[in-house]
Amino acid sequence: MGTLYVTQADAFIGKVDERLTVKAEQKTIMDIPLIKLEGIVVLGRATISPAVVSELLDRHICLTFLTQSGRYLGRLEPEVTKNIFVRKAQWQAIGESEPAIHLVRGFVRGKLKNYRHSLLRTQREHPDTDLNNNITRLENAIAPIEKTSSIDSLRGLEGAGSAAYFGCFQQLIKTSEFRFEARRRRPPTDPVNALLSFGYSLLRHDVQSALNIVGFDPYLGYLHVERYGRPSLALDLMEEFRPLIVDAVVLSLINKRSLTLTDFTTEPLSGAVSLTKEGLHTFLRAYEQKKQSEFKHPVMGTKCTYQKSFEIQARLLSKYLMNEIDKYPPLVLK
């Protein structure tokens, strides 16, 4: 099962013995063994029984609340793990320390290399698509990373590489029904941006849960500057996963026409675009299937799911900060 997504408005989440039940309009719409759950995401309004809250905390299962359109509201999570040594090492690396610079290099390199591999794969599969200029711009952003010793400069390289990638994102879309002009976030005003933003919200839930399991403070990061209420370390670790999971799911759903423009609605005042109920279910199924798909981890040398790789990368991060390994290896897949 992995993550349970509750999308039914005004649903009631309760517990019967060792099973979680979701009811709406006096009918049981879901009945899941608690042992299969790794997380719960509520979209919109729902009521959760005190027994469920207690059980989730006891089992270290995170509960995240999003608006119906996917905007993050907050989360209930268990007490942080007792491994104070991980958080001590995390805090000691704050600022322009060598460990912080090394980690930022890894986050940026992982993200941009995965962007590059995505463009190269598209060009192989669609020889008529010319992405050479954007690939060159990405390579120019990747090349200086290892010699760059300023975090602000590394942020600049990340920005340049992301601009090159999203500058040709429209060419990755193989249907004329969807258009992408630029990355727009608050609010997303077109279907493609709505899918990307929603997917990144789900990814944040998963990565932050993995960091919590390992014992990190998710609000102290290195690439993303500190800001009140911002889980900077979760956003840092998300970077290498964005193209591998969310972008891949978005492009697959669009290009296979699993989603059409009829699966979106537009809020008349703000212009914010969001998924319909049917479109939401389609996206959640595809996202969960992607997380449960397997690949060979390039560092561990064994097969794992993307869901498991969140925790693997978090543990590699902790091992680096605690001087148990020499380098942090970002997850880069070809």
Per the annotation, where are the binding residues for Mn(2+)? 158, 224, 239
Give me 273's structure tokens: 């675009």
Rounded alpha-carbon distances, angstroms, from residue 138 to 87, 132, 182, 212, 262: 34, 10, 17, 32, 34
| 203: Cα separation from own chain's centroid | 2
Give me 70's structure tokens: 């996917």
Cβ atoms of 141 and 112 within 8 Å: the answer is yes
Exposure string (b/e) for 140-156, b if CB count within 10 Å is 16 or more?
ebbeebeebeebeebee
Phi, psi (rounded to 5 degrees) for 47:
-110, 130
Could you tell me which residues are annotated as the binding site?
158, 224, 239
Rounded alpha-carbon distances, angstroms, from residue 36 to 65, 147, 267, 288, 304: 20, 45, 36, 14, 17
Cβ atoms of 38 and 76 within 8 Å: the answer is no
